[in-house]
Structure 1
Amino acid sequence: MVEEHPRGFRKRRYLMCPPVHFDVTYSINPWMDLSKPVDQELALAQWEDLRDLYVELGHTVELIDPLPGLPDMVFAANGATVVDGRVLAARFRNEERAAEGPAYAEWFRANGFPEVHESGHVNEGEGDYLVTGRWVLAGCGFRSDPAGHRAAQEFFGRPVVSLTLTDPRYYHLDTALAVLDDDRIMYNPSAFSPGSRAVLRELFPDALLASDADAAVFGLNAVSDGHHVVLAQAATGLTEQLRAHGFQPIGVDMSELMKAGGGVKCCTLELRPPLTAGRPMFAAPA
């Protein structure tokens, strides 16, 4: 029961994709270096450790079958954004990942999600759409199309706050910002435009600020259940900050998957349930 867990904790439901076909065969972000070989067994072991950790913490993990020829499909967070049971399917900017969008949309249709919307604008799921208690924070600048933010607001019925990324190393919002609970976030100010930094200061005056060193090891590509925060074990500064603010940080090693520019959050898509009688509740699968 939720009551048995620490204050702030809420059980989550995640979608993940095993890295059976994971590899670096093309380069679409600064982290992807074709000269560095990938250890696929190690990548799978690191991914399995993350999945097992979620289950140990009390969360539910659903799986989507990986498809051959899609080495980045392991990064499930990019496949869609789910808010109150409504699914905004991803539409990828790069041709190498284009087939992932329909594959994830089909999974949602087959698993009891009645509202699956395929956007006319490029959006890369929770890579660029992060959900707080009141807003959807929407990244742009490298991948997702800012023209799609208005459509996302209409679809989700929540205010969408546009944030501009300026550092190509942090090409998705989930590499530069993480949601900790309904009202708190942590982020790297140097990854954003001056105007976006001002917006974040206004909306989240108590945010945790990451150093460049912690951001560079993907410390902000993290997943929080409101109490536990799973993040890169190398992000020691953020670990100390989180502990000081009452969270329980749990460090993991995702170094092999980081060769493609992915970490904890990239591998984890949250399936947020529809609201029923004021409380979240999952619809039964069809």
Structure 2
Amino acid sequence: MCPPEHFTVEYAINPWMDTSVPVDPDLAVKQWDRLRETLVGLGHTVHVLPAQPGLPDMVFAANGAFVVDGTVYGARFKHEQRAAEAAGHRAFYESQGWQFMAPTETNEGEGDFAYVPDAHGGLILAGYGFRTDPAAHAEAQEVLGRPVVSLRLVDPRFYHLDVALAALDDGNIVYYPGAFSVASQRVLAQLFPYAVLADDTDALAFGINLVSDGYHVVLNHEATGLAHKLAAVGYQPVPVELTEVRKGGGSVKCCIAELRH
């Protein structure tokens, strides 16, 4: 995770960003701290990547890389405003002794990649349409040695896969069908017939931008309907409030890069 010490909305590179809406920097840090404390309280270890001046979106740590079995596939951002973030993420992973593979294709890390470990022997779901080049899907497959399923995003409000789909446990997912092309919806229905489906309201509340450890599901507090659905099928919803970073077009998952050894 990377603290929002320099977070602000200085530019607009997704439909959620509005430069006329001010960010409360103190509240942003306070809410981020609560998220970090929530994860620690659930028994997880959190590494903190230092924030860098001039990189307001670095708080969205998920976009910096994608990690499977100790191998890191680095990010190469589409927009120049975020391009310099990649070096900071690379420095972190290399300092920790992770095997880092630099990308040649445009991709935004876990923003557009999700890993479902036990689904069909370990499956990577990959989004394209707005940020990540489909060629990065093939590159990720070669780097990480897992089959990649390409999914086309068609609604600009769901510009990254992680605002439209999330892994819940080793074999199942939650997603919002309306974010995907008809063909991609068919693929998801075939691969995950028991997936939890989110509706428009919870999807637009960033409810799917969540993290799950297989039981606890940390998600935006506004996604009450999705929380009930998750509880009904055996998960434990853990709501958190992230009103400030939401102004940048992200929520829980965007703030967390998952480290898979």
TM-score normalised to the size of structure 2? 0.98
**Secondary structure of the corresponding residue to residue 138 of structure 2:** helix
Partner residue of 2:102? 118
- Alpha-carbon distance between aligned partners in 1 of 2:236 and 2:54, rounded to the nearest angstrom: 38
1:25 aligns with 2:10: yes
- Alpha-carbon distance between aligned partners in 1 of 2:51 and 2:95, rounded to the nearest angstrom: 15
- Alpha-carbon distance between aligned partners in 2 of 1:246 and 1:148, rounded to the nearest angstrom: 35
User: CA offset at residue 74 of structure 1?
Assistant: 0.5
Partner residue of 1:131? 115
Aligned partner of 1:49 among 21, 27, 34: 34
Structure 2 matches for 1:64-103, cutoff 5 A?
64-103=49-88
Give the counterpart letter for 1:222 in structure 2: L
Partner residue of 1:149? 137
User: CA offset at residue 35 of structure 1?
Assistant: 0.6
1:190 aligns with 2:174: no
Give the counterpart letter for 2:143 in structure 1: F
RMSD between aligned alpha carbons?
A: 0.5
Aligned partner of 2:192 among 177, 196, 204: 204
**Secondary structure of the corresponding residue to residue 67 of structure 2:** strand
Give the counterpart letter for 1:47 in structure 2: W
How many pairs are equivalent? Answer: 257
Aligned partner of 2:162 among 174, 177, 189: 174
Partner residue of 1:248? 236
Structure 2 matches for 1:239-278, cutoff 5 A?
239-273=227-261
**Secondary structure of the corresponding residue to residue 59 of structure 2:** coil
- Alpha-carbon distance between aligned partners in 2 of 1:103 and 1:48, rounded to the nearest angstrom: 21
Give the counterpart letter for 1:30 in structure 2: P
Give the counterpart letter for 2:12 in structure 1: S
- Alpha-carbon distance between aligned partners in 1 of 2:71 and 2:107, rounded to the nearest angstrom: 15
User: CA offset at residue 263 of structure 1?
Assistant: 0.2
User: CA offset at residue 192 of structure 1?
Assistant: 0.1
- Alpha-carbon distance between aligned partners in 1 of 2:92 and 2:54, rounded to the nearest angstrom: 18
Deviations 1:145-192 (A, max 9, x none): 001111110110100010000000000000000100011101000000
Deviations 1:105-156 (A, max 9, x none): 111111111x211111001000000000120100000000001111110110
Aligned partner of 1:107 among 87, 92, 97: 92
Structure 1 unaligned runs (5+)?
1-15, 274-286
1:213 aligns with 2:197: no
TM-score normalised to the size of structure 1? 0.89
Q: Which stretches of structure 1, 4 residues or longer, exceed 6 Å deviation after superposition?
A: none
Give the counterpart letter for 2:165 in structure 1: L
Report percent identity of matched pairs: 57
User: CA offset at residue 236 of structure 1?
Assistant: 1.0
Give the counterpart letter for 2:205 in structure 1: V
- Alpha-carbon distance between aligned partners in 2 of 1:269 and 1:179, rounded to the nearest angstrom: 13
